[in-house]
């Protein structure tokens, strides 16, 4: 009997994690999600998948979960006799007897979730879902607080690219075709609005943003050109031949190289994930059964390494190896939004050979500028 329950708990934990991953991948509004395991009697086993958070009732376990893009945490499971007695006795023997057992924590948890605001339950205040009336295609409104440009609002038109990770932690990149709108209340496009690309990504808090990367890159390239171009001799081009050398020197002059990079219109940093508590520790026995084989990502040609964290891939593909998985730092992440002027298309979606070659040509030129 005991082994049955232990096995079952591991399975139900996997269900909770799987459902949390599903909810996080499905809903761009999600920053994090909660799971709750509530104790009950032996016959009350239940997995309850919720729109807002999950409840699992199992035998003799009460556990809370927190899932985010930087890490996920589970409270220690412990003997919730007070809750158990509360649940049982309030129903069996009446409230007066039951409350002598102090149901304080149980009531605290329920109150906290019932009276929580959407933001407190993990819905990002910067991303709102709308269904127009009369019913039409659903869309999302992104609010981007760009320090210099102020607040900007974008309505999603179509999803250009998404990455449905097998892990909850990660960058979880989504790319939308979007258009700037007037406000949260007025969803009509601003004057002269053009379709743009909005990238929604989770970055480590120490990582440089795309604007910072591009600014630093442009500064370096500009400094190099200023230093070398007037002399007419770029060391890397000495053996390239005159035609190629002239072509590149033309590219580097008058900042023509900049056209091979996307133009960042807006960017903004969203709400950060919570950091890991000091006392939190990994528990390799959390799930009973090992996951045998990683499942390939859906998109053909996608980068498989990003479906897993490095250590998970290592753990799953080297189960016979004695080498332990590399320890994770659980670095906190924050959400980052960036809007590009140029309307992009995923290379995998290109249907014309000439378009593909053009994209490659521009990529090579941009890369060449960076390689100095």
Partner 1 sequence: MRSEMVVCPWNEFWQHYSPWAPSDAIVQEGISVLENADLDGNEWAKRVDPSAGPNENAGFKSLQDIAWKLQHMENMDRHASYTLVHRPNRVPLSTISSGNHMTDGCFYPSDGFPNGTTAPLELRRTASVHEYKTKSDPKRTHDASLSYLWHHFG
Task: Please give the residues from 112 up to 141 whose contact with partner 1 meets the rule CB under 8 A.
Answer: 112-118, 120-121, 129, 136-139
Structure tokens given for 175:
């790319």
Size of the site for partner 1 (CB under 8 A): 107
Binding partner 1 by CB under 8 A: which of 48, 190, 234, 350?
48
224 near partner 1, rule: CB under 8 A? no
Instruction: Tell me the window of 20-28, 145-153, 231-239, 246-254 that interacts with partner 1 (CB under 8 A).
Output: 20-28
173 near partner 1, rule: CB under 8 A? no
| Token pair 């033309």 in the structure block, residue | 250
d(CA 176, CA 335): 15
Binding partner 1 by CB under 8 A: which of 31, 152, 252, 312?
312
Least Cβ distance, residue 240 to partner 1 (angstroms)? 41
271 near partner 1, rule: CB under 8 A? no
Maximum CA extent, the chain: 95
Binding partner 1 by CB under 8 A: which of 330, 332, 359, 365?
330
Binding partner 1 by CB under 8 A: which of 280, 357, 364, 370?
280
Cβ-proximal residues to 192 (8 Å cutoff; 6+ apart), any chain:
none
Binding partner 1 by CB under 8 A: which of 24, 40, 334, 337?
40
Three-state DSSP class for 124?
coil
2 near partner 1, rule: CB under 8 A? no
Residues 142-171 touching partner 1, rule: CB under 8 A, are 155, 157-159, 162, 164, 166-169
Structure tokens given for 332:
């906190």
87 near partner 1, rule: CB under 8 A? yes
223 near partner 1, rule: CB under 8 A? no
d(CA 61, CA 81): 10
CA nearest 190: which of 201, 198, 199, 179? 179
Cβ 365 vs Cβ 248: under 8 Å: no
d(CA 261, CA 369): 10
Strands 63-68 and 32-40: antiparallel
Closer to partner 1 by CB, 215 or 329: give it. 329
b/e code 122-147 from CB counts within 10 Å (16+ = b): bbbebbbeeeeeeeeeebbbbbbebe
Closer to partner 1 by CB, 143 or 309: give it. 309
Closer to partner 1 by CB, 153 or 261: give it. 153
d(CA 141, CA 156): 6
Least Cβ distance, residue 359 to partner 1 (angstroms)? 18
Instruction: Tell me the window of 86-94, 232-240, 243-251, 355-363 that interacts with partner 1 (CB under 8 A).
Output: 86-94
340 near partner 1, rule: CB under 8 A? no
């Amino acid at each position: 009997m005991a082994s049955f329950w232990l096995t079952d708990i591991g399975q139900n934990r996997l269900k909770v994690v799987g459902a949390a991953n599903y909810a996080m991948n499905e809903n761009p509004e999600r920053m994090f999600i909660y799971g709750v395991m509530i104790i009950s009697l032996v016959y009350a086993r239940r997995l309850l998948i919720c729109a807002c958070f999950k409840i699992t009732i199992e035998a003799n376990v009460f556990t809370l979960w927190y899932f985010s893009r930087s890490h996920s945490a589970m409270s220690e499971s412990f003997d919730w006799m007070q809750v158990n007695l509360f649940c049982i006795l309030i129903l069996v023997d009446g409230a007066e007897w039951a409350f002598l057992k102090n149901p304080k924590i149980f009531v605290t948890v329920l109150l906290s979730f019932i009276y929580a605001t959407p933001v407190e339950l993990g819905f990002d205040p910067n991303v709102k879902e709308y269904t127009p009336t009369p019913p039409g295609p659903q869309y999302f409104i992104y609010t981007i607080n760009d320090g210099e440009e102020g607040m900007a609002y974008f309505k999603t038109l179509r999803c250009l690219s998404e990455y449905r990770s097998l892990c909850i932690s990660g960058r979880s990149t989504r790319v939308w075709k979007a258009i700037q709108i007037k406000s949260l209340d007025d969803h009509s496009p601003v004057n002269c609005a053009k379709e743009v690309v909005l990238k929604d990504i989770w970055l480590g808090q120490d990582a440089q943003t795309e604007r910072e990367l591009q600014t630093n890159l442009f500064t370096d390239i500009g400094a190099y050109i200023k230093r070398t171009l007037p002399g007419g001799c770029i060391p890397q081009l000495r053996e390239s031949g005159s035609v190629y050398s002239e072509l590149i020197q033309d590219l580097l002059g008058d900042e023509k190289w900049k056209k091979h990079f996307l133009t960042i219109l807006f960017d903004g940093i969203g709400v950060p994930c919570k950091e890991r508590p000091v006392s939190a520790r990994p528990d390799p026995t959390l799930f009973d059964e090992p996951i045998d084989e990683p499942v390939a990502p859906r998109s053909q040609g996608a980068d498989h390494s990003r479906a897993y964290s490095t250590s998970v891939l290592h753990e799953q593909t080297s189960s016979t190896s004695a080498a332990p998985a590399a320890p994770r730092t659980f670095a906190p992440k924050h959400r980052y939004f960036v809007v590009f002027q140029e309307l992009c298309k995923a290379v995998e979606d290109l249907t014309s050979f000439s378009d593909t070659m053009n994209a490659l040509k521009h990529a090579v030129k941009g890369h060449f500028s960076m390689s100095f």
